[in-house]
Structure 1
Amino acid sequence: MSRFLKRTGTTDLNVFYPIRSECEADVPTTRFKPRSGKTLSARRWHASFSQEGHLDIAKVLRLIQRGGVHPSIKGVVWEFLLGCYDPNSTFEERNQIKEQRRQQYSVWKSECRTMVPVIGTGKFLTSPLIDDDELPIDESLIGVPISDKKTLRWMQTIHQIGLDVVRTDQALVFYENESNQAELWDVLAVYAWIDNDIGYVQGYFFCRMNEICSPLVILLDNEADSFWCFERAMRRMRENFRTSASSMGVQSHLSTLSQIMKTVDPQLHQHLEDLDAGEYLFAFRMLMVLFRREFSFVDTLYLWELMWAMEYDPKLFSLYEESEVTRTDDTTPAINDKLWKKYGKFQRKNLQTGNTEQQFSALSVFLVASVLEIKNRRILKEAKGVEDVVKILGDITSHLDAKKACDEALKIQKKYLSKAKKP
């Protein structure tokens, strides 16, 4: 349940996600409004569980895809959408899993606090701990000797996380409270410690992991629960943040976007090619942080839950629980009608067509294609260079309709799959 609901007892969206008074003029009005009979309400959510706690996920997905999730229950619903829990589990089983995860998070956080004692105090750091010679700047802020490269790299990252935390969702009243900023810092710091491969990455064009984590810290009351939701979200997105000297992780999505546009709208694709925009780098930010800059905060939450519901795969939770398990994609599984309903609309179409490669299984790529189609005429008429494309797309920032964009993305997916199958 949202911490704002517990404090206010109201269902007004402006109270769930209050805006600082000095920022109100710069924050666009949200398009998302809970709609009776379509939005997943608290009443309908609780009625979707059996007496033992089994969740009717097909019913829940249907409602989310029609009208999103009511703010009072977004956090707990997202835990299921992100694969934290198996819908077939019981209340008792989930409580045990939750307690185990909270204990594990506490262990990891204690490890981090041993190295940097500020962690867990309600404060956070924005100044570097390590200088260019890899030596401590202020030994009083470091709890242990730096004895290995992992610890060194992590400590070099800590202050960057702090700088990004200060920039996070600055218009929201929530982050006027330093302890809330510190909670976001703690979650990101612990994640950076346990993810040996990716750690914490700011990304190109200032696309930061904090933009993915922030809504989860706001929606879930318990810090450990926020961490585990973020960890699940990053399992979907972490490859986007993988970088090397020669490539960016999100490039595979950009390549797929190019292929999709070339198939569904060859005229627009050729125009972008002529403008030297055929690599679609202008879409980098949309894909990296899932449209955080293109939608208002509230509409971003709505967009994400629509996407995750449409992409939902009932097998995901088992993969999340056992990382060593791998999917086989050599054949399309035989699935009966009852089980089909437990898949989201987008994922169902992927399975029906055998289109299970990861880059083609990302709804976000088709969402970018839908945005381009929305602005098709203007791009063809007005864009004389890459900067014009960027400006045209920038004009839609925070004014997109999430539901229409997702519906259009599904149409483009259908069109692409149909045309791609032809010789």
Structure 2
Amino acid sequence: MLRIISINKNANEDMESYYPIRPECQKDVPKTRFKAKVGKTLSERRWNAAFDKDGRLDIAGVLRRIQRGGVHPTIKGAVWEFLLGCYDPKSTSVEREQLRQKRREQYASWKEQCKNIVPIVGSGKFVQTPLVTEDEEPVEDNEVRVPKEDADSDKKVTQWKLSLHQIGLDVVRTDRSLVYYENEANQAKLWDVLAIYTWVDDDIGYVQGMNDICSPMVILLKDEADAFWCFEHAMRRVRENFRSNETSMGVQSQLGILSQVMRVVDPKLHQHLEGLDGGEYLFAIRMLMVLFRREFSFVDALYLWEVMWAMEYNPNMFADYASDGSHEVVATKLSKKVLQQYGKYERKNVKNGRSDQKSLLAVFLVAGVLETKNKKLLNEAKGLDDVAEIMGGITGSLDAKKALTEALKIHKKYLSKARN
């Protein structure tokens, strides 16, 4: 699935060759800027050397390396499982293998439940047309026959069935420039993971954009159950963004924080934007919902995510997840050794005794982008369409490393000004 090659002088080309792009799509995808660099990027050799004889991971050393240069493609899946909290670095190899097997069994059980309701689950195929109507009646002309007795009054079952065709429609649009998704079995793997996640997390259900979060996990992790659990842990960080009702969207809380940040770090630009859209910052919804997937090439987006997760890493994430995916930052004096186990961004939050939501770094990323477009927005944006056009122009032109550097700079400025 993934081509294993060594890092050499032509490193940028090598990065793209792990996730080959269909020839006809080459001109339409953003340029890839990420280059694996010897001595900076976390390599397979460095990764293996970070474990002791029992399999416990030196997370502090790993975080430093990732923050400097990302993760090499040969080990991304394994590293992501730690960054997202699937495994505790203090666990042994034996303990992790036991947990992995337990999770695989749980996934297989959920998949079997889903398959008993809709037999196409796990078949290597998927649906793109509705299976049932809003009135819980089977759709007769659908090529996938759903027994009438299955279309019962159970709200969970009905809502789940209603979501399956939308997942299918989104699956065929997901990363379609990649050769990987030319294979229907790979598309079906993505559909299965999303369908089963939707069955398990029926409180949120399926919302467009989840496919963009899930796709890299499906590509990076060969075992479908492992990909599911990696996605499930990623969703713990951002799932509230996808919660919505008739009057509000979950991502609005982050838009509110973005507005607050801009009010502090750049009052003039904030006032200008507020006058254009009532201070809603709605132009930033997509960036926050799918964590800049559309603004970067596939390779650069993966690099951006892993560096963000490394910067946000909190060793307490294994014990103190709250129901909303946030965690408490305890404002106590920690030793330097303990602080090294936190990511660069989270370390500053801990030192300042702040309690922040997961993935708040994404808010500072958006703020950083706004700052780089400050003059253009102030001089040329006369309405929302102008803002959308200026922000849309960043696609393919952003450098992920520079964007992260700018985000940390804005974060530091915000903490300083907020404190004063």
TM-score, structure 1 normalization: 0.93
Q: Return 274-283 or 251-260, whichever deviates more.
A: 274-283
Q: Tell me what 1:187 maps to.
A: 193
Shift of 1:323: 7.3
Matching residue of 1:249: 250
- Tell me the CA shift for residue 132 of structure 1: 3.8
Q: Write the distance in 1 (CA, Å) between the matches of 2:5 and 2:287.
A: 34
Superposition map of 1:17-416 within 5 A: 17-138=19-140, 141-142=145-146, 145-147=150-152, 148-202=154-208, 208-276=209-277, 278-319=279-320, 331-358=330-357, 362-416=360-414
Q: How far did residue 197 of structure 1 move?
A: 0.7
Query: Hey, what's the Cα distance between the residues in 1 that align with 2:326 and 2:216?
Result: 29
User: Hey, what's the Cα distance between the residues in 2 that align with 1:258 and 1:289?
Assistant: 19
- After TM superposition, the runs of 4+ consecutive aligned structure 1 residues lying more than 4 A away are 8-11, 322-329
Unaligned stretches of 5+ residues in structure 1: 203-207
Equivalent-residue separation in structure 1 for 2:91 and 2:134 (angstroms): 50
Distance (Å, rounded) in 2 between the aligned partners of 1:129 and 1:74: 36
Given that 1:201 and 1:209 are in contact with CA atoms closer than 8 Å, whether structure 2 keeps it comes out as: yes
Deviation string, structure 1 residues 65-100 (Cα, Å, up to 9, x no partner): 000000111110000000000001111111111111
Q: Do the aligned residues in 2 keep the contact of 1:54 with 1:88 (CA within 8 Å)?
A: yes
Distance 2:324 2:172 in 1: 37
CA distance in 2, matches of 1:383, 1:267: 13
Shift of 1:172: 0.3
Separation of aligned partners in 1, 2:248 and 2:145? 35
1:161 alignment partner AA: I
Contact 1:277 1:386 (C-alpha < 8 Å) held by counterparts: no
Query: Aligned in 2, Cα 1:348/1:378: closer, same or farther, shift over 3 Å?
Result: same
Partners of 1:237 and 1:26 in 2: CA distance: 28
The 2-side partners of 1:369 and 1:107 are apart by 43
The code of the aligned residue for 1:383 comes to A
Give the Cα separation in 2 of the matches to 1:135 and 1:37.
Answer: 60
In terms of mean alpha carbon deviation, does 380-389 or 96-105 score higher?
A: 380-389
* C-alpha distance in 2 between matches for 1:108 and 1:351: 38
C-alpha displacement of 1:327 = 5.3
Distance in 2 (alpha carbons) for counterparts of 1:50 and 1:399? 41
How far apart, CA to CA, are the structure 2 residues paired with 1:242 and 1:233? 15
1:125–1:158 Cα contact (<8 Å) kept:
yes
Cα deviation digits, residues 3-27 of structure 1 (max 9, x gap)? 313xx65662232100001111112
Cα contact 1:58–1:343 (8 A) shared by 2: yes
Residue pair 2:236, 2:325 contacting (<8 A) in 1 also = no
Deviations 1:188-213 (A, max 9, x none): 000000002101112xxxxx210000
AA of the residue aligned to 1:342: Q
Query: What's the CA shift string for 1:11-48, capped at 9, x where partnerless?
Result: 62232100001111112320000001000000100010
- Superposed CA deviations along residues 299-337 of structure 1, whole A, max 9, x for unmatched, are 0000000110000000112346x97999555x5133111
After alignment, is 136-145 or 258-267 more displaced?
136-145
The answer to whether the Cα contact below 8 Å between 1:118 and 1:141 also exists between their aligned partners in 2 is: no
Assess if the C-alpha contact under 8 Å between 2:283 and 2:388 holds in 1: yes
Residues 264, 414 of structure 2: 8 Å contact kept: yes
Alpha-carbon separation, structure 2, partners of 1:217 and 1:10: 23
Supply the RMSD in Å over aligned alpha carbons: 1.9
| Aligned-residue offset at 1:399 | 1.9
Count of residue pairs the alignment pairs up? 410
Tell me: CA distance 1:240–1:101, structure 2 relative to 1, closer, same or farther (3 Å). Answer: same
- Could you tell me which amino acid in structure 1 is paired with residue 343 of structure 2? G
2: CA distance between counterparts of 1:114 and 1:269? Answer: 53
Q: What is the identity, as a one-letter code, of the residue corresponding to 2:155?
A: K
Q: Cα distance, 1:262 vs. partner?
A: 0.7
Superposition deviation, residue 163 in structure 1: 0.5
**8 A contact 2:259–2:280 mirrored in 1:** yes
Amino acid at match of 2:76: K
Shift of 1:385: 1.2
Q: Distance in 2 between matches of 1:368 and 1:328?
A: 24
CA–CA separation in structure 1 for the residues paired with 2:30 and 2:357: 34
> What's the CA shift string for 1:92-118, capped at 9, x where partnerless?
111111111001000000000000101
* Corresponding letter in the other structure for 1:355: R
Matches of 1:277 and 1:325, distance apart in 2: 28
Q: Distance in 2 between matches of 1:172 and 1:298?
A: 11
Q: 1:389 to 1:328 in 2, by over 3 A?
A: closer
